[in-house]
Amino acid sequence: MKKGNSEELIFLVPVCKHNIWGGVKLREEFGYPVEGDGIGECWGVSAHPEGDGTVRDGAYKGRKLSELWAEHPELFGNLQYDRYPLLTKIIDAQDDLSIQVHPDDAYARKNENGSLGKTECWYIMGCKEDATIVIGHNAKDREELKQMVAEGRWQELIREIPIHKGDFIQIDPGTVHAIKADTLILETQQNSAITYRLYDYGRLQNGKPRELHIEKSLDVITVPAKSAEESVESISNLPENTLNQIYTCEKYTVFKMDVNGSAVFEQSYPFLAASVLEGDGSVDGSEVHKGDHFIIPNGYGKVEMNGSMSLILSTVER
Ligand code: ZN
């Protein structure tokens, strides 16, 4: 049966970003049409002013996601948010990223011109053997944290833990974190770009160190950090053809879906933002491929997926 305009899948043309630490996978493996090397990020479902996605086809072809949010709130379940609340990215790190921390909403509102804070989470799409990630730190209390930072005892302070493909990592505001080289991730985050850089391994860019934000970082870092065991969760053995909820918090709910053959589920959320991580297939007759990003709007109803593919999906609470 033909669905009405408000019930079409909304495919987006992502915005890719160049970064000094980026690789070439986003063009060469995912096929995004972006020139040059050092392609660090694909903002797949984004209405952020620094990377507002465009609708690829259909009734809303050419509209920015931010415009669609403002003009057609019914597609997103008429939510009480002043902007599209999430941002979905694929990140390809060829080099280590600087070590960062994000503020929460209250701190950002007060100190960053009313911006949202940033809660984010990572699904590890790929990494090398014996890969690690920076999550948390080893300071006992705030005094020790300040002292270690002042004395440049970074090796002692920074906590690195092992990761594998299929791991899920929740990064609450105040969590010290960084992706290491050769890691490919799907990030689901609040629609915000407020980041404080704590440490950059002493590297130089054009002969100069990049700016650090030590005072703000010290203000917002959670002490002590959440334990290493609590920070990483393996979700590699989920049932197939099921919309598996893998995490929920105040800011978002995230699902993993592995389609092998045929899968049917009900879209009962305000909206679902979907990203195809691997494989190919179809969604209600529309062909989809690795690297596609689309929104399943409010009121869509039954969703049928066919093929062999993995997706991460996200939504927010009503
Ligand atoms: Zn971050």
Ligand 1 centroid from CA 11, angstroms? 26
CA of 189 to the centre of ligand 1 (A): 9
Asked if residue 6 has pLDDT above 90, the reply is no
pLDDT at 260 over 90: yes
Phi then psi for residue 202, to 5 deg, are 70, 20
Cα–Cα distance for residue pair 127/91, rounded to 1 Å = 12
Q: Which DSSP helix (H) or strand (E) runs through 158?
A: strand 158-162
Q: What is the model's pLDDT at position 2?
A: 41
Q: State mean pLDDT over 172-201.
A: 96
Pairing state of beta strands 132-137 and 47-48? unpaired
- pTM of the full structure: 0.95
Catalytic residue flag (residue 109): no
Rounded-to-integer distance, Cα 55 and Cα 69, Å: 12
CA of 261 to the centre of ligand 1 (A): 35
Stated as kind and residue range, the H or E segment containing 266 is strand 253-267
pLDDT beyond 80 at 7: no
- What residues pair up with 99 in beta bridges, in sequence order? 199
Distance 283 CA to ligand 1 centre (A): 31
Give the pLDDT of residue 205: 85
Q: Burial letters for 193-225: b for 16+ Cβ neighbours within 10 Å, e otherwise? A: bbebbbbbeeeeeeeeeeebbeebbbebbbeeb
Of the listed 27, 63, 159, 197, which one is catalytic? 197
Q: How far is CA 8 from CA 57, 59, 121, 264, 283, in A?
A: 10, 8, 28, 16, 11
